[in-house]
């Protein structure tokens, strides 16, 4: 070994020290070095005492330095895992979060595997929710909308890589769909004031995927109204929201006539998911004596 060059083990230890000093998980050192060297975790472990080639060391340092500045690990690696699926990620499209796996887990309870359900993911981003639902419920017809063309391109790529059939629409909210059994959505839901206090990782995300006005409800509120029109009677809506605005939307959903409206906690015990059901028997509009519709109040 050239005395100037380091072994993989020495470089790993150096990276671990730097990451720990920056309060980031030391285990990320293995991902970074493995990615720079083009080695799996297992292959890296097998050559810890070997010298790191200079070009690999240079690439690994460049990645580490970006990471120390807060650049998300998933963007450095170009991929992430979501609900057991490997997804490509890229700048400009939200990196799927572990909380959203909890949303999928809960919502799947409303799609019996034997039913040919119609499911919509609003604001699909990388396609995470829609693809996880389709993978877990192959009989379902799954739709997904987004207003960001870059997101849709990435989501379509992920669907193709995974061999999963989802119809992606560049459209706001429900894209005019109707007769749905289930709508699942992780809309932008952070209140604007979070921009000031957000961790450095969020600076690398598309702000329109994160922030939604003063209360963080500027997307979720119209979504609630549009979901009502798109769901079948008895259909369910599952939303991910922020602990500070979820109870506001719960109250509004209840006041608007949604049934069974409830808030559920995520794994960190934060109130995170709002579920509500469109009534199975919505009262019909009032009729006059000749059976003609009578519209009141307008
Ligand atoms: C928080 S990200 C969620 C991405 C993905 N579903 C996930 O969980 O990783 C919100 C997404 O909603 C999209 N979006 C924002 N407003 C929208 C709207 N009115 N209709 C559809 N999508 C919207 C954004 O472009 C972004 O991709």
| Strand, coil or helix: 115 | coil
User: Which CATH number characterizes residue 138's domain?
Assistant: 3.40.50.150
Are 167 and 62 in a shared domain? Answer: no
pLDDT at 199: 86
Question: Ligand 1 site: residues with CB under 6 angstroms?
Answer: 94, 96, 100, 122-126, 128-129, 145-148, 151, 172-173, 186-188, 208-209, 219
Q: Which residue has the tokens 């609003």?
A: 122
CA of 122 to the centre of ligand 1 (A): 7
Are 257 and 190 in a shared domain? Answer: yes
Asked if the structure places residue 91 within a domain, the reply is yes
Nearest atom in ligand 1 to 82's CA: 9
Are 164 and 246 in a shared domain? Answer: yes
Q: Which tokens go with 227?
A: 């979901």
Asked if the structure places residue 270 within a domain, the reply is yes
Domain boundary among 69, 97, 112: 69
Are 110 and 178 in a shared domain? Answer: yes
Asked if the structure places residue 31 within a domain, the reply is yes
Are 64 and 98 in a shared domain? Answer: no
pLDDT at 285: 45
Are 89 and 19 in a shared domain? Answer: no
CA of 173 to the centre of ligand 1 (A): 9
Determine which residue's CA is closest to atom 26 belonging to ligand 1. 209
Segment-wise mean pLDDT, segments of 10 residues, the chain, 298 residues: 79 97 95 96 94 96 96 96 98 97 97 95 98 98 98 98 98 97 98 89 92 97 97 97 98 96 96 97 51 35
Instruction: Name which of 91, 90, 24, 35 is nearest 60 in CA terms.
Output: 35
Asked if the structure places residue 83 within a domain, the reply is yes
CA of 208 to the centre of ligand 1 (A): 8
Range of the structural domain that residue 139 is part of: 79-277
Are 130 and 271 in a shared domain? Answer: yes
Nearest atom in ligand 1 to 223's CA: 19
Asked if the structure places residue 289 within a domain, the reply is no
Domain count, the chain: 2
pLDDT at 283: 53
Are 95 and 186 in a shared domain? Answer: yes
Domain boundary among 69, 98, 121: 69
Asked if the structure places residue 297 within a domain, the reply is no
Asked if the structure places residue 58 within a domain, the reply is yes
Q: Which residue has the tokens 């400009």?
A: 92
pLDDT at 4: 67
pTM of this structure: 0.90
DSSP structure string for 61-123? HHHHHHHHTT--HHHHHTEEEETTEEEE--TTSPPP-HHHHHHHHHHHTTS-TTS--EEEEES
């Amino acid at each position: 070994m050239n005395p100037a060059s380091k072994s993989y083990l020495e470089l790993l230890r150096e990276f671990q020290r730097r990451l720990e000093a920056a309060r980031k998980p030391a285990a990320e050192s293995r991902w970074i070095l493995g990615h720079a060297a083009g080695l799996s975790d297992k292959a890296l472990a097998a050559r810890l005492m070997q010298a790191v080639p200079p070009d690999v060391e240079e690439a690994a340092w460049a990645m580490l330095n970006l990471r120390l500045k807060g650049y998300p690990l998933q963007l450095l690696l170009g991929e992430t895992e979501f609900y057991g699926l490997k997804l490509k990620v890229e700048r400009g499209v939200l990196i799927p979060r572990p909380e959203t796996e909890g949303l999928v887990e809960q919502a799947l309870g409303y799609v019996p595997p034997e039913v040919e359900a119609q499911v919509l993911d609003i604001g699909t981003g990388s396609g995470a929710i829609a693809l996880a639902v389709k993978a877990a419920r192959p009989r379902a017809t799954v739709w997904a909308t987004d207003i960001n063309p870059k997101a849709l391109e990435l989501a379509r790529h992920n669907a193709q890589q995974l061999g999963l059939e989802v119809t992606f629409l560049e459209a706001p909210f429900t894209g005019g769909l109707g007769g749905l059994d289930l709508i699942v959505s992780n809309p932008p839901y952070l209140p604007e004031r979070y921009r000031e206090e957000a961790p450095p990782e969020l600076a690398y995300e598309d702000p329109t995927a994160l922030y939604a006005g003063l209360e963080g409800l500027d997307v979720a509120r119209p979504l609630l109204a549009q979901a009502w029109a798109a769901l079948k009677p008895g259909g369910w809506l599952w939303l991910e929201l922020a602990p500070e605005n979820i109870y506001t939307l719960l109250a509004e959903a209840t006041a608007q006539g949604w049934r069974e409206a409830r808030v559920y906690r995520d794994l960190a015990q934060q109130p995170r998911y709002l579920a509500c059901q469109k009534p199975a028997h919505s009262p019909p509009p009032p009729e006059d004596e000749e059976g003609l519709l009578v519209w009141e109040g307008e």
